[in-house]
Structure 1
Amino acid sequence: MAQRKGCLIGCGVVLVLGIAAVGALLFGVGKVVDAAGKTMLDPGVYRSVSVGDPEGAVRAKMPSGESFIKAALKSGGPAEPEGSVCTWYMSDADTEGETVYRFCFKDGKLAEKVEYRMK
């Protein structure tokens, strides 16, 4: 009887750990999908803005761009203009996810927009 009780406890522990692992996996996938959604931009939006446009009007057309993916998007791109604040996005039309759009703002205006391929 004691042996059977020990087996049931062991199976219960394995079941709880399995459920926790599945929950953690789903949470992680959700975070990646959420981060990707914050950094995806339609090429039409990229084309619709011009250097000199007000920063508020440009940012209103875009998602936040804030995610852990930002560091990867920054690498391999051209140098940022001096004194500007930049935001990076991935093209949602690029199935390989290699096209990056960078928007740099300075003095309340779009100072530069650049399209490049991730390395």
Structure 2
Amino acid sequence: MAQRKGCLIGCGVALVVGIGLAVALLFGVSKVLDVADKTLVDPKVYAEAKVGDPEGEVRGRLPSGETFVKAALKEGGPAEPAGSTCSWYLSTSDSGDDVLRFCFKDGKLADKAEYRMK
């Protein structure tokens, strides 16, 4: 009887641990998909955007860029132009570690930069 009780407890613990791991895996996958949805930009969009283009027009072709990786994308890039608001994105290029930065000031694209993530 004691052996059977120990087996049931062990199976119960294994079940709870397995469910916990499955939940953690699903959470991780959802975060990766969230980053991809909000930060990936085609290099063509970067190339087509010209300094002086209206901010609304440029932002209309960009995802939100608001993810937990934003701080990591900022690192290693050129200084932001004074008084501007910038957004950082990952390029969908083959290298996979190119950052695309768009800076806006006074309702226009003031600066754009492309650099390697460190």
Q: TM-score, normalised by structure 1?
A: 0.92
Provide, for residues 80-106 of structure 1, a one-character-per-residue CA deviation record: whole Å limited to 9, x for no partner. Answer: 000111001111023x32211100001
Aligned equivalents of 1:26, 1:65: Cα separation in 2: 22
Aligned residue identity for 1:76 = G
Aligned residue identity for 2:109 = L
* 1:1-119 superposed matches below 5 A: 1-94=1-94, 96-119=95-118
Unaligned runs of 5+ in 2: none
Aligned equivalents of 2:34, 2:112: Cα separation in 1: 24
Size of the aligned set, in residue pairs, is 118
Aligned equivalents of 1:77, 1:11: Cα separation in 2: 52
Secondary structure of the 1:26 match is helix
Runs of 4+ in structure 1 deviating by more than 6 angstroms, as ranges, are none
Q: TM-score, normalised by structure 2?
A: 0.92
- 1:26 deviates by 1.9
- 1:10 deviates by 2.1
Task: Give the alignment's Cα RMSD to 1 decimal.
Answer: 1.2
- 1:2 deviates by 3.0
Aligned equivalents of 1:78, 1:84: Cα separation in 2: 13
Identity %: 69
Aligned residue identity for 2:113 = V
- 1:3 deviates by 2.7
Secondary structure of the 2:10 match is helix
Aligned residue identity for 2:54 = P
Provide, for residues 60-79 of structure 1, a one-character-per-residue CA deviation record: whole Å limited to 9, x for no partner. Answer: 00111111111111100000
Unaligned runs of 5+ in 1: none
